[in-house]
Structure 1
């Protein structure tokens, strides 16, 4: 609960150093900004990588070129909330609206931004990783362009899932996949499951998921995978050939495309001749672009996507480290998305 001019926030100070602190309440000083009271916030794999490996995405010594901030920073970029106040120039949302936040920070001036590719901005960053506050706090302010209204039949809990689901949606959207194609998803973690749901939402009728964890294979089936394969026990190439009637999944066949969503911690080694002589494509995917949040919200509202089962645990702000991060480290197979009940942690008694 905010007291006078301070509020609670979960802050990243460095490797394995996350603290619940009291910080100043943000003021709505920019006319195009929206003040939001976060309701639910998911813990992302990016947050976990920062916790385990130290400041990688989070600016430590050099301030972020757009926000001008360095650690300690407030965490949380997968969140929903209630609009608390709006600046004088804000027209699209009003106090009391239920919203989620698209957290990309961009300069709107570089060559990519001028092409509408804000996710590929030369200086890009993220709310909750680069500054501008985050969802693991009682209040935070962002530009109106980041704020997306939730349909009436989409809950605040599901609203906190829109960000990772938009990653999956974007990956399918910019890939060469078309209706009638089979799709092979390598890995059944939260983003892999988001890709499965995006494929389901877009009408894919042959989704194959390769995953070593039995529990995550169960999750994949739950969210619509047609087939699940254990690559430790089965020949994945032979199995995919069998499940596609010999046609193969797009990423395996000649002129197929491998869509890479994962962020690599080390330099990758590619067998380039395997790409060249089969005329395969390798495509990188960076989060999401214009329209992806809206497309996911429409798919959920219409019933084509049903992501509620992704929420496997809810915790409070003061449990983020022990019940959140440590659970994802020690028991990750049994969890997809852990949500922090921010509003429930900060509501006035």
Structure 2
């Protein structure tokens, strides 16, 4: 299934850090319960960039993932959408010709977390495009449970950003944000900007966003932020002027400290960013101010609601897309350009 030839499926394949190759791969046969998609759009995620720059982090090397059966080299891409080309066996409601969004979380269906319905916490959890072959290719093969049918009112461009939007919506639900409350969003990357949109829709009266990029802060204001702070020269509100809750959407120590310091006594800090190193916290401060720490992992049971919100015009996650590149040029025009500081937020690769 992983052999190469000159007439196969064009794919972006991770072999090692700084070694992503655009190559053609043999079209795999379907197993029962699997679906073949023609990929229409695939986003480059921060996780993809981590793997490209200094991986492996999540990509299995040597030992295959227990559900996908895949180890590196692996086709990247977990933020994607497409059209159903082929199915095999019982694939539920999935039919050939449907446009679908991909919810790329692997799940076993039998562990305690899966049986509770918390499939994002599955003991064998993984993501297509990291722990198995993904959608940065002309075609993708996936288990049918990952697919959600799209109405005509949701565009391919919007559907390609459903995955990071799902991360943001799950975090918002974990936080319990209510209308009239105040929030801080630390980091105006894709997840941070989507959190701004959701917080505005939820009725937050004050949305303060911090980042080092003036262009991203301007985008945050356009999406609903009431205040912005360049963290190179300014500071978020603290203590008595602190917000009800803060979302850490960067995954670095300084951002975590900013988030914790920005909340009032009795406030909440929601951890959304993925930390590449152990983080430190001042436990005395958390206890003394009774600050609640809430981690948010991936998403569960949000895709149907999210698709409905987009179709109804409530939110448009594609507003964070800043550039589109061809799949053939995704290394040079995508990964390499994102590896240096610039104002890009979300880049889509199109086969």
Q: TM-score, normalised by structure 1?
A: 0.90
Structure 1 residue 315, shift from structure 2 partner? 0.8
SS at match of 2:179: coil
- Compare the two structures and name the one with the higher strand fraction: 2
CA distance in 2 between counterparts of 1:285 and 1:71 reads 27
CA distance in 1 between counterparts of 2:99 and 2:173 reads 26
CA distance in 1 between counterparts of 2:330 and 2:138 reads 14
The total of aligned residue pairs comes to: 332
* 1:239-275 Cα deviation digits (max 9, x unpaired): x96xxxx463334112211000111111111100111
What is residue 327 of structure 2 aligned with on the other side?
Answer: 317
Structure 1 residue 231, shift from structure 2 partner? 2.8
For the pair 1:336 / 2:331, whether they are aligned, the reply is: no
* 1:116-175 Cα deviation digits (max 9, x unpaired): 1111112211001011x2111222221221001112111111110000111001000111
- Contact conserved, 2:265 with 2:291, CA < 8 A, in 1? yes
Structure 1 residue 205, shift from structure 2 partner? 3.3
Structure 1 residue 3, shift from structure 2 partner? 8.7
CA distance in 1 between counterparts of 2:339 and 2:181 reads 35
Structure 1 residue 230, shift from structure 2 partner? 1.9
SS at match of 1:204: coil
SS at match of 2:164: helix
CA distance in 1 between counterparts of 2:338 and 2:201 reads 27
What is residue 285 of structure 2 aligned with on the other side?
Answer: 274
SS at match of 1:320: helix
For the pair 1:295 / 2:305, whether they are aligned, the reply is: yes
SS at match of 1:40: strand
- Contact conserved, 1:99 with 1:147, CA < 8 A, in 2? yes
SS at match of 1:165: helix
Q: TM-score, normalised by structure 2?
A: 0.90
What is residue 128 of structure 1 aligned with on the other side?
Answer: 129
* 1:278-304 Cα deviation digits (max 9, x unpaired): 1111111111112x1112211111111
Structure 1 residue 306, shift from structure 2 partner? 2.1
What is residue 244 of structure 2 aligned with on the other side?
Answer: 249
What is residue 235 of structure 1 aligned with on the other side?
Answer: 235
CA distance in 1 between counterparts of 2:38 and 2:325 reads 17
1:151/1:265 CA distance change after superposition, 3 Å? same
- Contact conserved, 2:245 with 2:270, CA < 8 A, in 1? no
For the pair 1:285 / 2:324, whether they are aligned, the reply is: no
List aligned pairs for 1:258-269, cutoff 5 A: 258-269=269-280
1:27/1:201 CA distance change after superposition, 3 Å? farther
List aligned pairs for 1:211-226, cutoff 5 A: 211-226=211-226
- How much is the aligned-residue C-alpha RMSD, in angstroms? 1.9
- Contact conserved, 2:12 with 2:20, CA < 8 A, in 1? yes
What is residue 61 of structure 1 aligned with on the other side?
Answer: 62
Structure 1 residue 331, shift from structure 2 partner? 4.0
Q: Which ranges of structure 1 fall in alignment gaps of 5 or more residues?
A: 343-349
SS at match of 2:307: helix
Structure 1 residue 321, shift from structure 2 partner? 0.9
- Contact conserved, 1:223 with 1:307, CA < 8 A, in 2? no
CA distance in 2 between counterparts of 1:316 and 1:4 reads 19
What is residue 181 of structure 2 aligned with on the other side?
Answer: 181
CA distance in 1 between counterparts of 2:200 and 2:98 reads 29
CA distance in 2 between counterparts of 1:168 and 1:206 reads 18
